[in-house]
Chains A and B, each alone.
Chain A
Amino acid sequence: MTPEHLNWDHDKDPDMIPLDAGGHPSRQSESGDHITASAGHIDVGEISTSSRTLWGDAWYRLRRNKLALVALVWIVFMILLAVTADLWVPQTLGDPIVLPQDTAAAKLLPPSADHPFGTDKLGREIVSRIIYGARVSLSVGVLAVSISLVIGLIFGGLAAYYGGLWDTLIMRTADVFFAFPYVLFAITLIAVLGPSYRNVFIAIGILGWPSIARVFRSSILSVKENEYVDAARAVGASDLRIMFRHILPNSIAPIVVYTTMSIGSAILSEAALSFLGMGVQPPTPSWGGMLSDARAFLFSAPHMMLFPGIAILTTVLAFVLMGDGLRDALDVKMKD
């Protein structure tokens, strides 16, 4: 309840106008005709018919979460930068890949008006490389999570729907995936596939499915127990109808939340792999690769480390905060 509610002024509240003998708002009330007239309009239906859709409701609650909103703006901003990069970055800020003519003079320059984020060891603009790095990070994040989603939803759904042997088989396989150290498993996979942009998101995607399958399975299992599923069965709905119309729409919220957070962690994994040289290969700029380059100049040119670090931190944080906000906004049980 908001403070306004607690400190309301009884005299101004239309509900507090005394009633006359007939049960109508009293005309003698000192608040005058203006309020009396509006009080007469109130009926039960009018108060509660603000019928919002479920997603409209979620959006309403998300909008009030400032932190999530900032995160959303940041994500949209990064996506816009990444998508439009080709149109303006090389022309105005400098090419992210091609070396300047006089490398020796241009290299390792600290941030200045000409070089907003400074230059790297080969004299390339760090600001351009960060913008182009956003393309790699965001696309790897989205593609990897898409792969996890497809595999995870299919296996999680099968495990929950059929149960028994299928469930055991799928969930124990997922456990095996969990048993391996994540980065080590990813490095092994990439060692087999060969380091490249494509193989990075494939590796991260394959490693991500068990958690999605788990979340989806448990979500379906808990929704299945709800009485409205029995009720749907009782009106004669078929199994398929129950699965797709009643169970799926109710189990999707945790997946939306988890997916958002997963994109953040996929970006982090990509950065880690690129840092270790197992990710996107030079000269393509990637945030992890830039960090790796910066190691040698940690003290002489700290800006090389600083900006890619900030880019990774803010972007991953944005996805996590966004996921947090979505979780609060979508939680059906939180409704009054």
Chain B
Amino acid sequence: MSKLLEVTDLRTHFFTRDGVVKAVDGVSFSLDYGQTLAIVGESGSGKSVTAMSIMGLIPDPPGKIVEGDILFKGDSMLAMEPAEVRKLRGDRIAMIFQDPMTSLNPVYRVGHQIGESLRIHRGMTKREAFDRAVELLDLVGIPNPRERAKDYPHQFSGGMRQRAMIAMALSCDPDILIADEPTTALDVTIQAQILELMIELQDRTGTAIIMITHDLGVVADMADDVMVMYAGKPVEFGTADEVFYKPLHPYTWGLLDSLPRHDVSEKGTLEPIQGQPPSLIRVPRGCSFHPRCPYARVKCVKEVPELVPVEGGHASGCHFSVDPSFRKGEAAVCREVV
């Protein structure tokens, strides 16, 4: 049987006046029912564009998927008619957006908006959709759901709006839920509640989740697999445990070192990754991370590293990851600084 979702060598480029922005440049992964994949990276690493490509929501022009394929249950979404993709969207593949404050339409009642995809995809009447929306609001933990469904978004707090967004995304029992930084705009206590809610709902419905985030804490809580992206390319792929406890790529080391940890003494300083993410129009030659990498060698400037499996499914896009002494030696040194 074919996988639920299979992305092979996806390349999404934006053709702008200043040049071609290679926002996503060779991303592959697959996803099965009940699985959670986390896509991690800094701003501008191509995480969101990957999600938008799967949703078929890349604005064209200027964006275009120039290569690769997205298979949903074995069918290529890129070969489908726009109307067919639209039928999947919201029904089989749903999305939660980053900013709950702006992702609800201010002129409609919350219940009406949650019911929108039910009216579109299930042909429900307004009343049926509203009743279902009330159930969904109850499911995501909004007290007094029948009353609150009649509220307008401005009467909801940020956390409640994100719950409403989750209710909206789950309304048609999607196979895949794409969450684009669902907790970034929320404060920490609410973040934890929202993540908990998502985990709970996943247990109940078996939905596969693609979690896009720059917050490694979120990843640790939820993900089965982790893909670390840098400058449009995946640089490391593995299970959450592998990426957290045996990270291979210097960029992942950097990400982990810039994370506050409570198991390390408080005197330790955080080590930010030096420099800025590169412009995606002029990606550095060779390994795109080399200008910021403390271990860069001449080879890194000359050759583009491939994402190759190192141990089992754990893959890294660094020339030196295959060398155990590189990992054990320099990585250990690096980690001790923390």
Contact = CB atoms under 8 A, between A and B. Distances in A.
B17 to A, nearest CB: 14
B193 to A, nearest CB: 16
A57 to B, nearest CB: 8
Contacts of A233: 55, 57, 89
A332 B150 CA distance: 18
A234 B89 contact: yes
B25 interface: no
Contact of A230 (B86, B91, B103, B150): B103
Contacts of A231: 95, 97, 103-105, 165, 168
Highest count of chain B CB atoms <10 Å: which of A231, A235, A237, A246? A235
Interface of A: 44-45, 48-49, 51-54, 57, 226-228, 230-238, 241, 246, 249-250, 332, 335-336
A186 B54 CA distance: 54
Interface stretch (B115-123, B202-210, B267-275): B115-123
Given A51-B151, A227-B99, A228-B102, A235 B107 contact: no
Interface residues of B, number: 35
Contacts of B94: 234-235
A332 B152 CA distance: 11
A234 B102 contact: no
Given A49-B148, A49-B151, A51-B152, A227 B103 contact: yes
B90 A235 contact: yes
Nearest to B155: A48
A235 B106 CA distance: 17
A45 to B, nearest CB: 4
12 contacts: A45-B148, A49-B151, A227-B102, A235-B116, A235-B117, A236-B88, A237-B90, A237-B120, A241-B120, A249-B107, A250-B107, A332-B107
B98 to A, nearest CB: 8
A236 B107 contact: no
| A-B complex: 5 closest residue pairs judged by Cβ atoms | A235-B90, A236-B90, A235-B117, A45-B144, A236-B89
Contacts of B109: 51
B70 to A, nearest CB: 15
B154 interface: yes
Nearest to A252: B107
A332 B106 contact: yes
Contacts of A44: 143
Contacts of A54: 106-107, 152
B87 interface: yes
Contacts of B87: 236
